[in-house]
């Protein structure tokens, strides 16, 4: 309901934004397997790319396109960067009692993920911040 009311106030164009990407089951299975090996409970689910990811990536590429002022570069960029597969993972819930005062899950995740990507074959780009703004979207339990 909050979203619907907000639409009437403004920001409708936000909902028309697009960001082409493709997920990767193969990469997801690889990550899930490695997490399991390291004793970190993980579950594969289906979920779209949230704005915590796509807004930042969109901004990080647009200025470059603008800088070149050439449509071809934009198309070429889509091949090179937006053509990459995106694999997203969750962060711990905000109410996690020890978070962030003990080594948190994202930090501990760095160990298996560094093993997963010891050398350059993938980019690892955690867009981290404390979970917030999750009234309507977030954990499967709250959706």
Partner 1 sequence: MGPPTPVYFISHGGPNIMYETTHPAYTALGNIGREIVTKVLPSIAGGAKGVVVFSAHWQGGRSKVFVNVGEEEGLVYDFYGFPDVGFPTPERRGFGWGAG
Near partner 1 in 36-75, by CB under 8 A: 40-67, 71, 74
Q: How far is the CB of 77 from partner 1 (least distance, A)?
A: 7
Distances, alpha carbon 119 to alpha carbons 53, 81, 115, 123, 124, in Å: 23, 19, 9, 10, 11
Distance CA 50, CA 56 (A): 10
**# binding residues, partner 1 (CB under 8 A):** 99
Distance (Å, rounded) from C-alpha 39 to C-alpha 41? 6
Q: Which of 70, 74, 75, 88 has the alpha carbon at shortest distance from 22?
A: 88
Interaction between residue 17 and partner 1 (CB under 8 A):
yes
For partner 1, which residue of 3, 37, 75, 102 counts as binding (CB under 8 A)? 3
Shortest approach of partner 1 to residue 37 CB, angstroms? 13
CB of 119 to partner 1, least distance (A): 5
Is 138 exposed, middle or buried (CB count within 10 Å of its CB: 0-12, 13-18, 19+)? Answer: middle
Smallest distance, Å, CB 73 to partner 1? 10
Q: Write the binding mask 94 to 133 for partner 1: x where contact by CB under 8 A, - elsewhere.
A: x-x--------xx--x---x---xxxxxxxxxxxxxxxxx
């Amino acid at each position: 309901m909050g979203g619907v009311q907000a639409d009437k106030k403004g920001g409708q164009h936000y909902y028309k934004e697009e960001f082409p990407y493709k997920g990767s089951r193969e990469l997801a299975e690889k990550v899930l397997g490695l997490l399991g090996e390291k004793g970190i409970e993980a579950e594969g689910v289906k979920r779209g790319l949230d704005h915590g990811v796509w807004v930042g990536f969109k901004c990080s590429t647009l200025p470059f396109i603008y800088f070149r002022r050439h449509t071809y570069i934009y198309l070429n960029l889509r091949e090179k960067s937006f053509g990459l597969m995106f694999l997203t993972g969750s962060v711990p819930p905000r109410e996690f009692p020890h978070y962030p005062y003990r080594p948190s899950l994202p930090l501990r995740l760095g160990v298996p993920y560094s093993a997963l990507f010891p050398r350059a074959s993938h980019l690892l780009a955690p867009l981290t911040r404390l979970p917030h703004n999750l009234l309507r979207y977030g954990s499967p339990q709250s959706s």
